Structure 1
Amino acid sequence: MFTRPLAFLRTMAENAAKRIKTDGGALTIGTHNGHFHADEALAVHMLRQHVPKYTGARLVRTRDPALLETCDIVVDVGGEYEPARDRYDHHQRTFTTTFPDHQTKLSSAGLVYMHFGKGIISRSLPDAPAEDNDKVGLIWNKLYDSFVEALDAHDNGISVYDSDALKAAGIEKRFSNGGFTLGAMVGRFNGNWNDTAPSDPVAAQAEEDGRFEQASQRIGEEFDRALDYYTKAWLPARDVVETAYKARKEYDAEGRILVLKGQSAPWKDHLYTLEEEEGERVQKVLYVLYPEKPTPDAKWRVQCVPETGDSFQSRKPLPEAWRGFRDEKLDEITQIQGGVFVHAAGFIGGNKTFDGALAMAKKALE
């Protein structure tokens, strides 16, 4: 083992890749060798783990056009976007494709998800509904928004915010979060610049391919968790939230209090969607009440609805005079029995009973 110049290692890797032969009868996924990124790592995972045609497919990592031409599907390399031929690269100058109703240019992850995602979701739902089913489309859009789009933006160098607008407003980041992204996580699987590498080109390529396999598996675990959540928890919660939304005026004539009976469920996304469907004139929900656990003696929470799903700012925080107090002292201040706590930031509080929690929410409206 000894250190080789980077250019020499690249040459060895290319030569090794050219010698790779496909196994008889096995389908092959092609992507580039060298430094890898989150988008092709996820694209390969989705194909291998969630698309029956490519289950168990071999992986060839190369930039050799002749070898890529022998692959059944190619992602993130080759300079072609031709779905009919299963070619999914996004690096060509003419490429401008985006996910429906979005502006972020797709990466190989977004391309594979856009073309194969509905099938992935359909097979993950009970009874495997048709790909054009409304529930499939709902999750297809949500999973792109919450997971895949960030990878597309990261790979295409698109910032979350307009940097010029931030600069003009004098806004600076309070801390660095660059190492806290899925892209950074995958990037750490790449070898360091000063790592020693095998002198044999086949061994060097195999070592690099092994790191890519680890990266693909790791980001795939995160994707699979997200897919599992949206198909098994998030989607069923929609019916729960919709039922509560329709009954909200039972607790407040203006519909500002929403009560989740029996058991809490993920409510934010669905609440925003239901409000949007009703239009701008509808009174927004300000407080959501739910039990801490699905038992008759459960304590109840009063949670303020955030201004947006990613915001720490509440539409109407709990009264400042209540914040940071607990138990008997909270009862004394609110004049409501059974108080448990109100968070110092005013975004959530609790009471021992539903009636107490409802009384807190109603008083907070005043």
Structure 2
Amino acid sequence: MKIATHNNLFHADEVFALAILKMIYPDTILIRTRDSARLQEADIRVDVGGKYDSEGGDFDHHQAEFDLKRENGIPYASAGLIWKHFGGKVAGKEVVDYIEKELIQQIDANDTGFDTYSINVCKPYTISDFIKSLNPSWSEQSEESFNRNFEDAVLIATKLLRQEIKRAEEVINAKNKIILKINESDKEYIILEGRIPWKETVVENSDLKYVISYDKIEDNWAILAVPISMNSFENRKDLPAEWGGLFNKDLQKITGVKDAIFCHKKLFFAISKSKEGAIKLVEIALGKK
């Protein structure tokens, strides 16, 4: 399998497009060029060539007539086009949809100049910024350095993509377990016997205020406040203000919980050595004790 993309400066969209394809075709021969004759040697052309024809192996989005957008308005770039046509070869549909929403759309939005957020204080450092930083510095630029760094970037993107797929699978597999816990609970919190990914499911499917979860590495129990939405740092209910920033004896004294360990000063996170201690802290926070 020969896959071509453009040479010189690279961006996250073609880097991740190549990462996706190399997961499917690990023995890919990469061609980086804008020369039309060399492009025709490739089986697949990504982010170059001025044509979108999936059956013909063309996945460019720069041509004037290209206007493919998602329902939310985000235009497709090469990462999105490749994920749209090849994502199903590396993951199941639920995972494909999850990765599309969590990763691919952000890459395409950045590449096409589509604003997805407003800046209040400082600009977020995105995965697109990181990939861009892997280009050779101006004093080191050569065809060889661009090609070498591009291949390094694809390796990094492949590793990240594999991990995101694994994480997505775990989130999806955990969803039914979390919903069962929510339905079984008659309280404003649930207890998880491990660090199961819970946030999205709890935020979208419940009115819970807190989640208690066991950390087997530290052998203690964490109390986490549920945010009002996935992209918010505001909690449905803060932990008590007087707990903020306290450790061990100071926290134990004010709460009466003998194995309380810590409460974050932002009031979204606390730790107790035992499950019983964590439950007591939550009950106090809810005004039940």
Aligned sequence identity (%): 28
Q: How does 1:192-203 map to 2 (within 5 A)?
A: 192-195=137-140, 197=142
Instruction: Report the counterpart of residue 279 of structure 1 in structure 2.
Output: none
Aligned-pair CA distance for 1:207: 4.2
DSSP-derived class of the 2:212 partner: strand
- Is the Cα–Cα contact under 8 Å of residues 10 and 150 in structure 2 kept in the other structure? yes
Counterpart among 76, 98, 111 of residue 142 in structure 1: 98
Q: 1:176 Cα deviation (Å)?
A: 4.7
- Give me the whole-angstrom Cα distance separating, in 1, the residues matched to 2:127 and 2:31: 23
1:257 to 189, 208, 212: 189
2:210 aligns to what?
Answer: 287
Distance 2:149 2:245 in 1: 48
Structure 2 residue corresponding to 1:158, chosen from 109, 114, 136: 114
1:312-345 CA-to-partner distances (Å, cap 9, x unmatched) read: 2211110112222233432332244432222211
Helix, strand or coil for the counterpart of 1:140?
helix
- Taking a change above 3 Å as real, the CA distance of residues 32 and 363 of structure 1, as seen in their structure-2 partners, is same
The whole-number CA distance in structure 2 between the counterparts of 1:196 and 1:81 is 30
**Which residue of the partner structure matches residue 73 of structure 1?**
44
Which residue is equivalent to 1:33? 7
Taking structure 1 as the reference length, the TM-score comes to 0.72
State the distance in 1 between where 2:141 and 2:78 align: 30
Query: What CA distance in whole angstroms lies between the structure 2 residues aligned with 1:194 and 1:220?
Result: 28
Aligned AA (1:264): R
CA distance in 1, matches of 2:7, 2:98: 31
Task: Give distance in 2, aligned partners of 1:185 and 1:83.
Answer: 29
Deviations 1:246-284 (A, max 9, x none): 2221xx2xxx21211x32211112223434xxxxxxxx1
The amino acid that maps onto 2:199 is: K
Deviation of 1:196 (Å): 6.5
Q: In the TM superposition, what are the counterparts of 1:90-239 in structure 2 within 5 Å?
A: 90-99=61-70, 101-121=71-91, 136-162=92-118, 172-173=120-121, 175-177=122-124, 180-195=125-140, 197=142, 205-231=143-169, 233-239=170-176
2:244 corresponds in structure 1 to 323
* 1:58 maps onto 2:29 in alignment: yes
Secondary structure in 1 matching 2:30: strand
Q: Is the 8 A contact 2:251 2:260 kept in 1?
A: yes
Tell me how large the CA RMSD over aligned residues is. 2.3
Where do 5+ consecutive residues of structure 2 fail to align? none
Task: Give the structure 1 partner of residue 200 of structure 2.
Answer: 269
The letter for the 2-side match of 1:149 is Q
2:136 alignment partner AA: G
Name the SS of the counterpart of 2:261 in structure 1. strand
Q: Could you tell me how far apart the structure 2 residues matched to 1:82 and 1:344 are?
A: 54
**Distance 1:196-1:330 versus aligned 2 partners, 3 A rule:** closer
The residue aligned with 1:240 is 177
- Paired with 1:155 and 1:326, the residues of 2 have a C-alpha distance of 45
Cα pair distance change 1:206/1:329, threshold 3 Å? closer
What TM-score comes out, normalization by structure 2 length? 0.89
Structure having the higher Rg: 1
Asked whether 1:338 is paired with 2:259, we answer yes
Opposite residue 151 of structure 1, the aligned amino acid is: I
C-alpha distance in 1 between matches for 2:148 and 2:259: 58
> CA-to-partner distance for each residue in 1:142-194, whole Å, 9 max, x for gaps?
112222121111111223325xxx6xxxxx42x454xx332222223323334
Partner of 2:54: 83
Native 8 Å contact 1:80 1:88 kept in 2: yes
Matches of 1:35 and 1:73, distance apart in 2: 20
Which position in structure 2 is the counterpart of 1:355? Answer: 276
Shift of 1:90: 0.9
The code of the aligned residue for 1:246 comes to: N
Secondary structure, counterpart of 2:20 in structure 1: helix
Structure 1 alignment gaps of length 5 or more = 1-26, 122-135, 167-171, 198-204, 276-283
1:338-364 deviation line (CA, Å, top 9, x unaligned):
322222111111223323322221221
